[in-house]
Amino acid sequence: MDFFDKLGKKASETYKVTAEKTSKIAKEAKLKMKMNENKSNIEDIYKEIGKKVYEKHVREENIDIKKDLEEECTKIDVLSAEIETYLKECLELKDLRQCKNCSSKIEKDAKFCPECGEKQDDEEPAKEVEVIENNESSDEDEN
Ligand SMILES: [Zn+2]
């Protein structure tokens, strides 16, 4: 084999490892960013709910969660589910997972949780969480 071929191959392998590492870090940063984004969106919705409840109080009306707050609650459900998914992806990048009982970070292939002793499934069937891409832009006014 040609010397330069070997050299080139080695260099590209090194590059590949570095690139993988870098993309993992970048991926994690991105996931964390998304999680924070969702969390702050949830906070906004909480405020929205609080406002609605107070307005009901002012008008001396009763609040019907199903009717009056369903939209907000559904949004929070979706955002929370997304956070769960991001968190899982984040842990997987580090070969970790969450204990299904106490939510401790544990080794991906641990059979039992070292924190609470809960037996872990070998391979958790991935729950398909439908990620709805909407309300990304913050300039949208709800009212
Ligand atoms: Zn546990």
Domain boundaries, the chain: 3-94
Residues with CB under 5 A from ligand 1 (ion): 99, 101-102, 104, 113, 115-116, 118
Q: How far apart are the first and last CA of the chain?
A: 70
Mean of per-residue pLDDT scores for the chain: 86
Q: Which is higher by pLDDT, 35 or 128? A: 35
Q: What is the pLDDT of residue 10?
A: 81
Confidence of residue 123 (pLDDT cuts 50, 70, 90): low
Question: d(Cα 48, Cα 107) in Å, to the nearest integer?
Answer: 39
Q: What is the value of pTM for the model shown?
A: 0.66
* 123 CA to centre of ligand 1 in angstroms: 16
Kindly state the average pLDDT of the residues 28-43. Answer: 97
Structural tokens at position 109: 């292939």
CA of 98 from ligand 1 middle (Å) equals 8
Which residues, 6+ apart, have CB-to-CB distance to 41 below 8 Å? Answer: 75, 79, 135
Report how far Cα 90 is from the mean position of its chain's Cα atoms: 8
pLDDT in tens, 38-81: 999 999 999 999 999 999 999 999 999 999 999 999 999 999 99
